[in-house]
Amino acid sequence: MTTGYVWHERYAWHDTGTHAGLLPAGGAVQPFRNFESPESKTRFAGLVEVSGLLDHLVRVPARPASEEDLLRVHTPEYVARIRALSEAGGGDAGDGQSPFGPGSYEIARLAAGGTIAATEAVLTGRADNAYALVRPPGHHAKRDSGMGYCLFANIAVAVEWARANHGVRRVAVVDYDVHHGNGTQSAFYEDPDVLTVSIHQEHLFPQHSGTFAETGEGAGAGAALNIPLPAGCGNGAYTEAFRRVVAPAVRAFAPELIMVASGFDACAADPLGRMTVTAAGYRALTRQLMDVADEVCQGRLVMSHEGGYSPVYVPFCGLAVLETLSGYETGVGDPFDDIWAPSPQHPLTPWQDDVLKRAEHVARGLGLLAPSRPI
């Protein structure tokens, strides 16, 4: 396989300040760093190079998204506000938890544009699939507001770019970040030609978003599917969810392109999630997505980086995904595997299975799964 790869040093220059995780420093809150900091991304990029995998990828240069690109998804007022705040030294994207510094408007444009560049590489045949290691993330950003560290909706912007410039009509977006992909969902909630599938920890963030009841509205009714998993799920629950619900739903939708919101905050070491997925789990999910892409859209699969806040473990999860996409094994492996692989949280439990049965029921009602056979 030929795998495109986007990374730009300026992604690491997006400044989220001296927050103590989520809270701004001040009073009794000692300055530290935001959970959304450069480390997990720079260390991921570093391991891609040190492992030798970089030599087996197609480097795709990042480019800034144009204002026209952004305005296909965001309101002019919102784009202008982010630009003005960035030029004035920084601010917050909208929810009080998405700080940014000077120059972040340009970096956020580069993140959206990096996802566009990866998409273009796949659509033009330069690469079979692609991974855009971009920052800031995008799947929480709404039309008129940023949220959850996200400034611009990177994947939504790339989807609309592909539709405007390459005649792509039907797109499936799969989001395995531990948080609900509410921004991406909202961008296409009334659009019948974009299927959004989000598998996430139930009631985590946004707390009341991503329920089974959210299935699209108007012309888009039936084109949104959510799988809210209980805390504590490991490789078994995730791989079964993909096998039983995600992959069949995408297959039934028959898109021309599959986009993936690739967040590694469902990993066992993440400070914000309460899941236990390992690098081997992410490898298995990627394999399933590739198989579906091969079946329905000539392998056209584009991943764009989202969350994941463990600087020590995100690199190994990301490397596993990129090895699977490219078909090249570096031999690095997962040095944490001996610790987390034996965890009793990996086998599918009865209560997790109950959630998957409900997800199957919802997907079946949307016409995304074949009717169950009578016993």
Alpha-carbon span 272 to 21, nearest angstrom: 9
Alpha-carbon span 57 to 318, nearest angstrom: 14
One of 8, 140, 200, 305 is an active-site residue; which one?
140
Residue 192 CA neighbour count, 13 Å, CB half = 5
Q: What are 154's two structure tokens?
A: 């990177």
How many Cβ atoms from other residues are within 10 Å of residue 329's Cβ? Answer: 12
* Amino acid letter for position 118: A
In the residue annotation, 140 being an active-site residue is answered as: yes
DSSP-derived letter for residue 228 is E
Q: What is the DSSP string of 117-135?
A: HHHHHHHTTS-SEEEE--S
**CB-count burial class (<10 Å; 0-12, 13-18, 19+) for 124:** exposed
Report the catalytic residues. 140
